[in-house]
Each structure stands twice: as structure tokens, then as C-alpha cells.
Structure 1
């Protein structure tokens, strides 16, 4: 929890008031991430489910782990009381919008759906991976700032983003 609180605190520091925050988690880390989000100063607003469809790896005799959770909140007050009511479950195959190019890669259509709640301006992804959030952000006409420590994935993200821009 300490590490997650640390990076979320740094994100909280640089985000504008009213900014949206979304953090992906599996079921094992859900309690830790929700606690870290609040400890970092964000207001926890709820959980959205990403249904990865039946294309995920089956485990005989067990329930299929076909969902991830998106813990969402804001820096202070929610930025808007207007706008559409959005679904609480998004169903996208892990390969929707193209092949998966990162171990924990997210499909670009999912990221496009999620960033609709972000106020206009810049989207920050402190764990950019292969750049799916960046692609969705650029395609929506917004600015993107991404961080990635693994050189291989940084290069993949840069290539994908430059091809889109």
C-alpha cells in the first residue's frame, strides 16, 4: 500500500482540482488500491468493471478471471454534474482495436470509453505501458503525458503514438 500511496500522492500533487482519477486493479489488490487512493488525497467515487470477455485464459475447475476493476475518483469535487449516465461495466476483448502489445495492455476502445469522464485538457498516465491511453487521448483531441520505465515498452508506446499523431 505504501508504494501505491506514494505514486498516487505525486499524481494528486500535479493534477488540477476536479481531475478524474482511474486506477486498474484485479480482485486481489482492490482493498489496497482503494485505501491508497484515499490516503493520497483523492475522493473515491466508485468502481467500474472491465469485462474482458471469454477470451481470457481459462482455469479448469475455477471461475474465469475475466474482469478487472477500475477504481475511480476525483481530486476534490467531481468536475461536472452534467453529462450522460455512463455504464458501470464495459465489455471489451483484450484484443479489441488491435493485438495486445503489453502483458497488462488495455484495449484502446476501452480507454476511449473511460477518458470521456476526464475534463478537457491533458491526460496523465503514470504507467503508460504500450500507450493505449495515449492513443485514445490523442484521438479525442486532447494532450497526453505518459511515463514508462521499461525501455522496450517506452519505445513501443512512442512508435504507436507517433503513428497516431
Structure 2
């Protein structure tokens, strides 16, 4: 009987953890952030002819003994289930860039569903689109504005590491 109660408790806990993740994703109304790394302050973004509002999102944080340091970067929110074309323009430099974004499986959510809910989360997140995110998620704005092809951009991992190193020094 103790084993049954332990297993039932674990299943309930996993379901509650998964429902929290689903609620957080639902609060974004089917959209996901696309981070504009090293973007000029006057960057303008649009997608499929519609102007996008920019937000300042926490990209990385570093806890320190004298307080926490957070790095904010410019981000735009786009629907995660559809392909999108992101147009960027900087009036100060006069440069433009166009980036094609595609929905792809979000590996972290797939793994979280497998581990936390023993796969049950896939039944909810699959149809709702919570397993998807737009790729590339980090846009190398200077490279895109310079007209470099996607293959010549800094890698997603390098962009993350560089940004996190920046806040450690700050």
C-alpha cells in the first residue's frame, strides 16, 4: 500500500509541475521570444508587414554576493506555430536585415515532459504547440545587418556564452 501511495504522489507531483509549465506557456498566448543580440537601441522590427513591439527580456542572470546582476536584451514576441519573416531596420545606420524563422521542437520542453510527466505531458503540449519554439531563437543582429548568411553568424551557443560572460564582468 505504501508503494501505491508513493507512486500516486509522484504522479500527482509530476502533473502539478507540468501544469505550471503549461500555464506559463499559455500566458504567452502562443508566442515565443526571439532575442535580438547586440541590437542598436533604435532597432525597428516587423514581421510579415506588421510592426512588432520590442520588450526588454532577462536573457541571463548572475548571482553575486553583493546582489544579483541581470542582463536584459531586446526581444520580440512571435507566434511559435508558424513560419515568420523577421525584418529588422536601424534608422541610425540605415541597415536592413531579413531573417527567416521556422518552428522547431523545443528540446528542453520535450525532455521536461519525458522526465517530469513520464511522457503524459506530450499529450497536452503536442496539440497546444507548447513543444515548439522559433529557430533561430537568438539573432546575431550585427551579422544579419552586415548581410552575412546565417552560416556565417556566431553560433547560438557562442551568443549565449558571450552574453553571459558580459554580465559576469559587469
Q: Same fold (TM over 0.5)?
A: no
Instruction: Flag the structure with higher helix content.
Output: 2
Larger RCO of the pair (alpha carbons < 8 Å, separation 6+): 2
Which structure: larger Rg?
Answer: 2
Report the TM-score, using the length of structure 2 for normalisation.
0.28
Instruction: Flag the structure with higher strand content.
Output: 2
Report the TM-score, using the length of structure 1 for normalisation.
0.29
